[in-house]
Amino acid sequence: MHFTQRYLLRMLFVALLSALTILVAACSGDSGPAGAGSIVIAVEEVPPMIQDPRRDIRASGGIGKDLSVYETIVRAPHVAPPAPPPLDHTGYSPSDKGIAESWEISPDLTSITFKIRPDIPWHENGGKWGTVDAEDVAWTFNQAFAADSVNNGAEEIGPEMKLGFDVVDSMTVRQNIETGGFDPTWSWLMGNASFNGIVIVNKQAYDDLGESEYAATPIGTGRYKAITWTADDEVTLEAVKDHWTGSDAHVSSITVVHMPEAATREAALRTGEVDIANLPAQTINGAIEAINGRVQEIGIARPQGFQMAGNYWNTKCPGCETGVMPRPGFDDAVSSGDYPWIGNPADAANMESARKVRWALAMAVDQESIIENILEGRGRPIYAWQNILPSDPSHKDSWLIPYDTDKARSYLADAGYPDGFDMEVWIPSTFGPGTKSAAEAVAAAWRQELGIEITIDKTEYAARRPQTVDKTINVPFTHGINWIPGSTSARYICPNAGHIVGFTMEEAMCDLGLENATEQDLNVRISNNITIQDYLTEQMLFVPMFQAPAVLFAVGPKIDAWAPYNAQDVLPNRPESITLK
């Protein structure tokens, strides 16, 4: 159906829903939803509703968290983009209105005891569920921390912090921590401003409704209640009246629509059918000029490039079932001998050959051309997987990668591939148009300049991501992480039972990088990451293309003000702060 027809049907539905809500409120004596008016927000994806923390990747802890349906145990202070949120727990306070009203860290750093705020009511979807208690909080985290969990927020947290939550009393829980494993960034990782987070959900509803119905019944505590949630279609939200925080949302109803194509989102903005939508850097200026709107930036700029997957060199994994991480992608590559970019640590000559292949690929990337001709100037050259720009005082000249196709061909010849080779690359179809276009241009340059016969797989990210968990991925793929200085970034490039980015560093580097999980001194953590970057550059395990800007949202003329918080998530957030003209 054409989006204009869908828009008319949607507006009719919203009007009918509003009328029905008012009628029900009048009959029941309820004053109805908070706020007034309605808006439409377009997003690239409305994921399936998943509420079980063990299975949630980006639903309740992603769009549900950012659109204020669900809430986290702690909340970051409001930091406007583009500044990053605080990392250390010392920057967090109960006054920022997380689910916990207080917390106490044990003197030996082996536990955190949280007191839960009394009288936080659950949304009454599928029944009346009372208020949040310790059972809800402990169950939420223990599900997210389970060995078979795919929870994106939990993957950010080290195993030292995931020994489990105990119920102390009806309104108190205790998080157990391995001796020596206290992570000073725990509040960022467990709050609202990191990657897709762990949101508090209702245990009784899971027990009473059963897994299937629970998955279809969003029950949160936030300022917006989800009325409908249909994957690949839309989510309808209604503002909660008399929210427990003491402040209600200004806009009464929000419709979040699934619009994967940037051109469709732009057209809907221009016709007034959508009020907020993210657009590529290449088109957003023209769109906001046409509608008399403005740009709202959210997120932290990130490096984009190719992760050189399959180079699983280290398998020591305390969090894996046997203590050893399986690496089928590496085993297949080594046995076949058909993956020139994958090195075998047991063979020094092969390791050097593969290193030269990876460096050849990197030297054939023309970052300046990508930024000028594909991104229209909306990007920066970057050479560090750690998200450190050349202008940063901690950047090193030794990390710079020259654009030199002659030298690249020489490296390939030295490695034994003067005529190139066959290589598959994965460029997920669900990534932004700038990233996809740049990656395709790089693939074309590798073909033209280096004689590499490229096959591009455009499978969407979610469909192939499980290969990063089971370690079968062994082809270069586009991906980048918007690290904040001092992060424990090594979690994603060291052995892990869950998701990593397709390679693992050697053991000594992992030992150093993972020290950040418990190191209390920010400067030491930054220094550790610089040493890690030295290693990543030498081995060229990440072939950079550019640093992408944070996500840019076009905001229509109907909206007077909006004050989102900054986070590593790249969704519109804090809708309760939106006011209309």
Q: What is the mean pLDDT of residues 41-57?
A: 94
Pairing of strands 38-43, 276-278: parallel
Co-location of 109 and 139 in the same domain: yes
CA angle in degrees (0–180, nearest 5) for 454-457-461:
140
Of 475, 246, 445, whose CA–CA distance to 360 is shortest?
445
Same domain, 200 and 339: no
Is the pLDDT assigned to residue 260 strictly greater than 80? Answer: yes
Say whether both 145 and 192 belong to one domain: yes
For the chain, helix (H) and strand (E) counts, in that order, are: 17, 18
**Residues 325 and 496 sit within 8 Å (Cβ to Cβ):** yes
The values of phi and psi at residue 568, to 5°, are -80, -20
How many distinct structural domains can be found in the chain?
A: 2
Residue 230 has what pLDDT?
Answer: 97
Band (pLDDT 50/70/90 cuts) for residue 485 is confident
CA–CA–CA angle 525, 307, 44 (5° rounding): 95
Question: Smallest Cα–Cα separation from 362: which of 423, 412, 312?
Answer: 412
Residues 273 and 331 placed together within one structural domain of the fold: no
Answer yes or no: do 189 and 77 share one domain: yes
Q: How far apart are CA 375 and CA 280, in angstroms?
A: 9
Q: Where are the alpha helices (DSSP H) in 370-517?
A: 405-415, 433-450, 461-464, 466-470, 507-514
**DSSP per-residue string spanning 81-144:** TTSPPP-SGGG--GGG--SEEEEEE-TTSSEEEEEEPTT-BPP-SSS---B--HHHHHHHHHHH
The pLDDT score that the predictor gives to residue 12 is 55
**Residue range of the domain that includes 309:** 302-548
- pLDDT at 100 exceeding the cut of 70: yes
What is the sign, positive or negative, of the torsion defined by CA atoms of 491, 492, 493, 499? positive
pLDDT, residue 470, reads 97
pLDDT band, residue 9 (cuts 50/70/90): low
Banded pLDDT at 549 (limits 50, 70, 90): confident
Matching residue, tokens 């409908």: 228
Q: In angstroms, how far is CA 307 from the centroid of its own chain?
A: 17
The verdict on 530 and 562 lying in the same domain is no
Pair (508, 461) in one structural domain: yes
Q: 8: domain CATH number? A: 3.40.190.10
pLDDT tens digits, 272-328: 999 999 998 888 989 999 999 999 989 888 899 999 999 999 999 998 989 999 999
Q: Collapse the DSSP code of 407 into the 3-class scheme (helix H, G, I; strand E, B; otherwise coil) and give the result.
A: helix
Average model confidence (pLDDT) for the chain?
93
The DSSP output letter for 77 is P
Give residue 253's pLDDT. 98
| Better pLDDT: 4 or 466 | 466
CB 55 within 8 A of CB 157: no
For residue 16, the model assigns a pLDDT of 54
pLDDT of residue 26: 44
Give the helix/strand (H/E) hosting 239: strand 234-239
**Cβ count near 455 (within 10 Å):** 11
Are 514 and 568 part of one and the same domain?
no
Position 482 scores a pLDDT of 84
Instruction: Give yes or no: residues 233 and 327 share one domain.
Output: no
Q: Is it the case that residue 428 has pLDDT exceeding 90? A: yes
Over 60: is that where the pLDDT of 150 sits?
yes
Q: What is the pLDDT of residue 375?
A: 87
Nearest 10 degrees: Cα torsion 352, 358, 361, 366? -110
* Poorest-pLDDT segment among 212-226, 320-334, 473-487: 473-487
Structure tokens at 507: 């053991």
The reply to whether 153 and 37 lie within a common domain is yes
Q: Does residue 158 sit in the same domain as residue 200?
A: yes
Per-residue pLDDT, 122? 98
- pLDDT of 319: 86
Confidence of residue 570 (pLDDT cuts 50, 70, 90): confident
Residue range 154-164, pLDDT digits in tens: 988 989 999 99
Q: What is the DSSP letter of 303?
A: E
